[in-house]
Structure 1
């Protein structure tokens, strides 16, 4: 699982160094390919290890084409999904269209979120973290999942 957050910089060529802790996880899993997507709901880019992405694709396929919302979501998220190989120096290339969509400039925050990694503009991440939240909203949802906090 991916945990923690790290401040990094995107170079002039659009390359981003993956934190060593995350590279080690990928190495143990024998995965060098990440799928980069615009999640549609958040102001970041999401990097899925290939196996996690394949599970998402299977879940979408299992719902078939009968539901318009599933078709639209599958179409939108797949249209801009990009494969990116972790190079020998532990970097991935983030294409310009995805960098632009998430307003990724030089300074970014890489956030581990269980089975995936999010890449945020540093200011947007700080703004997201600073938002007021009602702990009771989270406690109720977590309790529904059997998670006690």
Structure 2
């Protein structure tokens, strides 16, 4: 869906499999790239779940929401500082180049198990970058939970 059709907002939908070159550059799906201007995503190694980490890519507005959620936590809660420290020290900002690629930071790619191929998975307002092998296990688990998850929708 084009930005024009969605009022300027990009929805990250579908899955795309792209090769990773020797410099760890990987193509961002064309539908997920804004039409103009410098595009920056914040990559976080997402460790939630039993299938091994992936890379979660947050566009600027989602990174801002994450910061607001953390800032809203009470300052007395030591978990607030832990979240800020861990996310801040393990996140990387990556810029989309003129060819529509980002460079996956070496340590992040290694931890996520991404080598020669990357699977981009849309999460509507953000996206994840998976090792295709790890994602196969996630997809199987998602199918088990899908019927119950659909009950959340009207």
- Where in structure 1 do 4 or more consecutive aligned residues deviate above 4 Å? none
Q: Distance in 1 between matches of 2:38 and 2:67?
A: 17
C-alpha distance after superposition, 1:67-105 (max 9, x if no partner): 223332222122111111100000001110100111111
Question: TM-score w.r.t. structure 2 length?
Answer: 0.82
> Unaligned regions of 5+ residues in structure 1, if any?
none
Q: Distance in 1 between matches of 2:28 and 2:66?
A: 22
Q: Within the alignment, does 1:34 sit opposite 2:73 as a pair?
A: no
Q: Distance in 1 between matches of 2:87 and 2:107?
A: 14
Q: Distance in 2 between matches of 1:4 and 1:91?
A: 18
Q: Is the 8 A contact 1:39 1:77 kept in 2?
A: no
Which residue does 1:44 correspond to in 2? Answer: 54
> Unaligned regions of 5+ residues in structure 2, if any?
1-10
Aligned residues: 140
C-alpha distance after superposition, 1:10-52 (max 9, x if no partner): 11101110011101xx236x55011111123142101111222
Which residue does 1:4 correspond to in 2? Answer: 14
Higher-helix-fraction structure: 1
Aligned-residue CA RMSD in angstroms? 1.8
Q: Distance in 2 between matches of 1:116 and 1:110?
A: 10
Q: Is the 8 A contact 2:15 2:120 kept in 1?
A: yes
1:95 aligned to which of 93, 105, 113: 105
Which residue does 2:127 correspond to in 1? Answer: 117
Q: Residues 134 and 15 (structure 1 numbering): CA distance in 2 closer, same or farther, change over 3 Å?
A: closer
Which residue does 2:26 correspond to in 1? Answer: 16
Q: Is the 8 A contact 2:16 2:119 kept in 1?
A: yes
Question: TM-score w.r.t. structure 1 length?
Answer: 0.84
